[in-house]
């Protein structure tokens, strides 16, 4: 069974493949850009999820680094 992180990553991979197909089919660039922005948002959500998971098992110094990274992502 897939973990939530693996499932999320597979959705992103599907989004990227969809973008590739849209580009190959010469779909309207505005629609392609919308899909790229959606994939970017999904990647950011995955990054935050990974950092949140890491924060549950790490030490104070690492938590500070995670918080700093989170603020740079958003």
pLDDT in tens, 35-65: 999 999 999 999 888 888 777 776 666 777 7
Q: What is the per-residue pLDDT for 53?
A: 79
Contacts of 29 (CB under 8 A, 6+ apart): none
DSSP string, 18-68: HHHHHHHTT--HHHHHHHHHHHHHHHHHHHHHHHHHHHTT--HHHHHHHHH
Lowest mean per-residue pLDDT among 4-8, 9-13, 60-64: 60-64
């Amino acid at each position: 069974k897939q973990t939530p992180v693996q499932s999320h990553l597979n959705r992103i991979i599907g989004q990227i493949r969809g973008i590739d197909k849209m580009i190959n089919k010469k779909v309207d660039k505005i629609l392609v850009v919308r899909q790229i922005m959606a994939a970017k948002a999904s990647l950011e959500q995955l990054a935050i999820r990974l950092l949140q998971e890491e924060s549950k098992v790490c030490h104070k110094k690492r938590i500070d680094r995670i918080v700093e990274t989170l603020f740079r992502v958003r």
